[in-house]
A and B are shown apart, each in its own frame.
Chain A
Amino acid sequence: MISKVFLRNLLRVTVLCIIASFVIAPLLATALGGFKTNAEIRTSAFGLPETWNFEFYNAIVSDPAFWRYLGNSLLISIAAVILTLLVGAAAAYVFAQIRFFGSRMLFSYLLLGLMFPFATAILPLFIQVRDIGLLDSYWSVILPQTAFGLSLAILLFRTFFEQLPRELFEAAYVDGCGYIRFFWRFTLPLSTPILATVGVFVFVQSWNNFLLPLVMLNSREAFTWPLGMMQFRGEFVTEWNRTLAFVTLTIMPAIVFFLAAQKYIVAGLTGGAVKG
């Protein structure tokens, strides 16, 4: 009986290990490939490098362009997060706290963004941003990114705000605390879990976004890292080891960030999805 349970568990773990190796192998080959010469990648794509060449990694790390790409991405992502949290939470607070004529209609209007893919209106968006004169600036990515993230943010925020105890607001109101002050002093500080969840979600979306920067940014000074990576790949078509080193260095922060903020990422990317 015990051996049967043991065998079943052994089989289970074996299956899991096989699938896990399919997940990890390409990533491992990528990280190792950055240490190999191209000749070696040809003969053994998955083996350990015979000699560990650090020059390809070094070349990228000492290239200021690489850091500029990462810096641009970081700046854009952080701005998108702050803007989404502020603007989204403010709107959601109004919907949760104040009854007014047209409230339900406006709420449904703001949720329309959940219905269709971002790419749908990318051409008119491009024209629009060009005509405002924002093309090739950080704002050309930040503003549309924020606008598209608002729907989900407002939905999740409103649900959360409505669950905060109403007595709190009544007590504060009696003591002379107005709506706006209550928002700043009580609602926002009490909502850190949902702010973190939405913030992480927006950050990951923005950090990984490719289509929007591709359409909006033209000069290499403004490139985000996915654009920089494609540019780099284009320059070193025949040198896989350089590209692989570049890829490894750019996905490293993502994996570290994931391990550090795992709880919020999983909640934000799946929990939020289920609730939505």
Chain B
Amino acid sequence: MPTIPLASSQQQRRLSLTQRAKNVLQNGKFGALVLLLPPALILFSLFVIFPLLQSGYFAFFNWNGYGQPTDYVGLKNFEQMMGHSVFHSAIWNTIKIILVSLLVQMPLALFLALLIYKKTPTNALFRLIFFVPYILAEVAAGLIWSFVFDGHYGVTASVGGAFGLEPFFILADRDWAFIAVMTVIVWKYFGFHMMIYIAALQGVPRDLIEAARIEGAKPFDIVRYVQIPLIKPAIIVSAFFAIIGALQVFDVIIPLTNGGPSNTSHTIVTYLYTFGLTRLRIGFGSAIGVVLFITAVAVAIFYQRAAMSPGKKP
């Protein structure tokens, strides 16, 4: 007799345990946690973070990617990179892209945004047209423009031919090749920055503009003292994207110049690809990656400071 209640109570406890386990899995947070979070963590760690850490390790080796990295060379990869004239020009080209983005592309985008931010059918059409280059693949854009710049066929041929000039190959000219590349970059991305500004301009309260107008402000003054200060966060965001974008330029260069003529039009990423990957110099390429990473993080930190600073002002 006394054993029965014991057994039943044990059974009850076991039942409640399985019940609880079932609850935890079906209803409970634990099940959701264990099922829903790990796929993202595993994918992200395996294909983003782990390679990133590895590049920090490989950068100190001379390694062709086969077997294990054993030839420890210390900072030699970095020294070699810093002493390489092509790397200097790649850095300088990246700075040029940043400057063109900040000084030509963004003002152009802002100017256009101010012209067409109001919601009318004509403006919508122009907005659409200006955004088209941005949705094209970079490779396609590069290929299209390599045709335009072709000395025998493209627009340069037509214009040059009209003046009776010899065929001129912009993309094969040391002085002009990178100017051509920057033209394509402005063409491709100004619409993106313009859209950011348009979204911001549409958020500026109309009363403010109206009030300024009643106070006698000229259209230019409204732009200068009302609209631009109010969309400053959008301008900072677009500057951030311009700089991060400049650090990543690759696709456009390959069809246009492929880094040439005589390696004068490389950017950091084409340099990494040409001198690290195609030659299977994993250590050297990783060292370039490390430099790229540090630069990007510095930009991100700088951006955070810049984005926070307007709040401090009264």
Q: How large is the interface on A (under 10, 10 to 19, 20 to 34, 35 or more residues)?
A: 35 or more
Given the complex of chains A and B, what is the CA–CA distance between A51 and B131 in angstroms?
32
Please, what's the 1-or-0 string for A237-255, where 1 marks a CB less than 8 Å from any CB in chain B?
0001001100100110011
Q: Which B residues lie within 8 Å of A259 (CB)? A: 128
Q: Is B27 an interface residue (CB 8 A)?
A: yes
Given the complex of chains A and B, what is the CA–CA distance between A151 and B137 in angstroms?
22
Q: Which A residues lie within 8 Å of B55 (CB)? A: 120-121, 123-124
Interface pick from B7-15, B35-43, B84-92, B96-104: B35-43
The reply to whether A45 and B154 contact each other, CB–CB distance below 8 Å, is yes
Q: Which A residues lie within 8 Å of B153 (CB)? A: 38, 41-42, 45, 240
Number of interface residues of B (CB under 8 A): 89
Whole-angstrom distance between the Cβ of B233 and the nearest chain A Cβ: 8
Indicate whether A106 sits within 8 Å of B41 (C-beta atoms), given known contacts A13-B122, A274-B199.
Answer: yes
Q: Which A residues lie within 8 Å of B115 (CB)? A: 12, 15-16
Given the complex of chains A and B, what is the CA–CA distance between A233 and B269 in angstroms?
22
Indicate whether A119 sits within 8 Å of B292 (C-beta atoms), given known contacts A16-B116, A270-B192.
Answer: yes
Q: Is B172 an interface residue (CB 8 A)?
A: no
Given the complex of chains A and B, what is the CA–CA distance between A123 and B251 in angstroms?
17
Indicate whether A123 sits within 8 Å of B277 (C-beta atoms), given known contacts A33-B147, A97-B32, A117-B244.
Answer: yes
Give me the interface of B with A, judged by CB distance under 8 Å: 26-29, 31-33, 35-37, 39-41, 43-44, 46-52, 54-55, 58, 65, 112, 115-116, 122, 126, 128-140, 143-145, 147-148, 150, 152-155, 157-158, 161, 187, 191-192, 195-196, 199-200, 234, 237, 241, 244, 247-248, 250-251, 254-255, 269, 272-273, 276-277, 282, 285-286, 289-290, 292-293, 296-297, 300
20 additional contacts (CB under 8 A) given A126-B65, A274-B234: A20-B129, A22-B187, A23-B129, A23-B130, A30-B147, A42-B153, A46-B155, A93-B36, A94-B37, A97-B32, A98-B32, A121-B54, A121-B289, A122-B277, A123-B285, A143-B47, A147-B46, A183-B36, A208-B137, A266-B131
Can you sample 11 A-B contacts with CB below 8 Å? A23-B132, A26-B147, A91-B37, A97-B32, A106-B41, A118-B248, A123-B272, A128-B47, A130-B65, A210-B254, A233-B255
